[in-house]
Amino acid sequence: MTMTNPPTAMTDALRQCIRGAGLKVTEPRLAVLHALDAMPHASADTVFGEVKNQLPGTSLQAVYGVLAALTAAGLLRKIEPAGSSARYERRTGDNHHHLVCTGCDVIKDVDCAVGEAPCLTAADAAGFEVREAEVTYWGLCAQCRHAA
Q: How far is the CB of 56 from Zn ion (least distance, A)?
A: 29
State which of residues 63, 66, 75, 101 lies at the interface with Zn ion (CB under 5 A). 101
Q: How far is the CB of 59 from Zn ion (least distance, A)?
A: 27
The residue range among 6-14, 43-51, 60-68, 85-93 that interacts with Zn ion, by the rule CB under 5 A, is: 85-93
Q: Are 148 and 111 spatial neighbours (Cβ–Cβ below 8 Å)?
A: no
Q: Does 144 bind Zn ion (CB under 5 A)?
A: yes
Q: 116-146 burial, b if ≥16 CB within 10 A, otherwise e?
A: eebbeeeeeeeeeeeeeeeeeeeeebeeeee
Q: Are 2 and 53 spatial neighbours (Cβ–Cβ below 8 Å)?
A: yes
The residue range among 6-14, 23-31, 47-55, 98-106 that interacts with Zn ion, by the rule CB under 5 A, is: 98-106
Q: Are 137 and 100 spatial neighbours (Cβ–Cβ below 8 Å)?
A: yes
Q: Does 62 bind Zn ion (CB under 5 A)?
A: no
Q: Which of 71, 82, 113, 81 is nearest to 95 (CA)?
A: 113
Q: Does 112 bind Zn ion (CB under 5 A)?
A: yes
Q: Are 144 and 104 spatial neighbours (Cβ–Cβ below 8 Å)?
A: yes
State which of residues 13, 109, 110, 138 lies at the interface with Zn ion (CB under 5 A). 109
Number of residues lying near Zn ion (CB under 5 A): 9
State which of residues 12, 74, 86, 103 lies at the interface with Zn ion (CB under 5 A). 103
Residues that bind Zn ion (CB under 5 A): 89, 101, 103-104, 109, 112, 119, 141, 144
